[in-house]
Amino acid sequence: MNKFKCGMAMTAAAIVMLTFGVAVAGQIDMTMYYPIAVGGKPYELINGLISEFEAQNPDIKVKAVYYGNYDDTRTKCMAAIKAGEKVQMSVLFSIDIFDLLDADVIMPWEDVVKTDEERAWIKSFYPALMANSMSGGKTYGIPFQRSTIVMYYNKDAFREAGLDPDKPPATWDELVSMGKKLVKRDANGQVTRWGLSIPSTGYPYWMFQCLAIENGMELMNKAGNEVYFNHPDVVAGLQFWHDMAYKHEIMAKGSTDWGTLRQQFLGGSTAMMWHTTGNLTPVRDNATFDFGVAMLPAKKRPGSPTGGGNFYIFKNTTPEEQAAVLKFVRFMTAPINTAKWSIGTGYVATSPAAYETELLKKYVSDFPAATVARDQFQYAVAEFSTHETARVKKFLDDAIQSVLSGDATPKDALDQAQKGADRILGRYR
């Protein structure tokens, strides 16, 4: 009897060892580079979602490597891949698509999915977000950390200026006329509150793209090998940005910092600001005044570029790793998790299904401002993206800065930017 019990115990132990041996041998370890700083609500949300995924999938482990911005994340990620390190996926700029394709490091999601349900999942995102996610009819980016540019405005300041707090400017003319009324000066004539602020550091090309779109022009073609920097309608857009400071005097001359503008708005030193919808939750949580969110005002048409990051899957992955990446990215973009992410960060939910969850339905019912970015999708276009995007947009960024600092005219600055871009992009035509 003791021998029998002993034999049964040994058999059970052997089974356990074999079982755990298979689990360890079959465990898939994945590395993901992600563009957020360590700490803060987005960091906590991503880590929480990863933990939840791993609990549901104990055979898959996800290591998130965080860097503060998209450019740094792409640089570190590409360096790791070139060094032969295993990196299966990353969230990188949606505008990186051409550069990643030119580097031959990403693969289309159509090569990963197997079932009709998975193929339907690829098509479940808002079409506006897919404009920066596809090339040559193939899907290379899955939208996740995405945004548009919206206008935040201080309703209390509107009331103080005798303006209707529920009617923000819908046109460029209204933006100027309301902006003038919102400017506030002290007894010495010094401005204590500007009517409008648009950041010109960080992502100047992105903010300028709004003005070009609103004046009826997109800055590049879909193939990413041609730009239209010195088109008359684009030049007029930059002239308007300049004139808001130097002619209409509704905004400060010179440079306006991307990173500190939110605090300036919250501190009351500007009545309106154009910024990413990714600021929606911080503004909601920290504003001490009644505020509103609106679509950007129109000239010839309304509109904003989309923005933010996509999930990419890299070529140096095994079929097993590809299946694991697909499972993880589908989990992260599931409607309920997309809803949690949108509410927690302010980034726009990337699929209509997310807005049908009870969680997001209740949120937008209580906080209608959360629907503005979504509703603006119908007017949105792809964020600026070309081959060698960083080099090309540097010409545009420099042109914008030279005009806003008063050192060049829009026409001269954009002619120079066009020449520089053409030198680079000519080889891709």
| Segments making up each domain of the chain, as ranges | 2-146+308-368, 148-306+381-428
Question: With 0-12 CB in 10 A as exposed, 13-18 as middle and 19+ as buried, what is 208?
Answer: buried
Architecture of domain 2-146+308-368: 3-Layer(aba) Sandwich (3.40)
Average confidence (pLDDT) over 356-361: 98
Residue 207 has pLDDT above 80, yes or no: yes
Question: What is the pLDDT of the chain when averaged over all its residues?
Answer: 93
- Within this chain, domains 2-146+308-368 and 148-306+381-428 share the same CATH topology: yes
Confidence of residue 1 (pLDDT cuts 50, 70, 90): very low
Confidence of residue 13 (pLDDT cuts 50, 70, 90): very low
Residue 124 has pLDDT above 80, yes or no: yes
Residue 3 has pLDDT above 70, yes or no: no
Average confidence (pLDDT) over 368-396: 96
Confidence of residue 405 (pLDDT cuts 50, 70, 90): very high
Residue 145 has pLDDT above 60, yes or no: yes
Q: What is the DSSP string of 221-245?
A: -TTSS-B-TTSHHHHHHHHHHHHHH
Confidence of residue 25 (pLDDT cuts 50, 70, 90): low
Confidence of residue 16 (pLDDT cuts 50, 70, 90): very low
Crossing angle between the packed helical segments 319-332 and 335-345, to the nearest 10 degrees: 60
Give the pLDDT of residue 38.
63
Strand-pair partners of 309 = 93, 145
Cα gap 215→210, rounded to integer Å:
9
Cα gap 69→91, rounded to integer Å:
11
Alpha helices in 183-318 (DSSP H): 204-214, 232-246, 258-266, 280-286
Cα gap 120→97, rounded to integer Å:
22
Give the pLDDT of residue 414.
98
Average confidence (pLDDT) over 373-399: 96
Residue 235 has pLDDT above 80, yes or no: yes
Say if strands 28-34 and 60-66 run parallel, antiparallel, or are unpaired: parallel
Beta strands in 136-217 (DSSP E): 138-139, 142-154, 184-185, 191-193
Crossing angle between the packed helical segments 389-404 and 410-425, to the nearest 10 degrees: 170
> Whole-model pTM?
0.89
**At which residue do the structure tokens 């066009």 appear?**
418
* Residue 144 and residue 333 in contact, taking contact as beta carbons nearer than 8 Å: yes
The domain 148-306+381-428 is placed in CATH, from the list 3.40.50.300, 3.20.20.120, 3.40.190.10, 1.20.1250.20, at: 3.40.190.10
* Residue 389 and residue 357 in contact, taking contact as beta carbons nearer than 8 Å: no
Q: How far is CA 335 from CA 67, 330, 355, 365, in A?
A: 26, 10, 8, 17
Give the pLDDT of residue 36.
87
**Two structure tokens written together for 423:** 């030198």
Cα gap 386→221, rounded to integer Å:
8
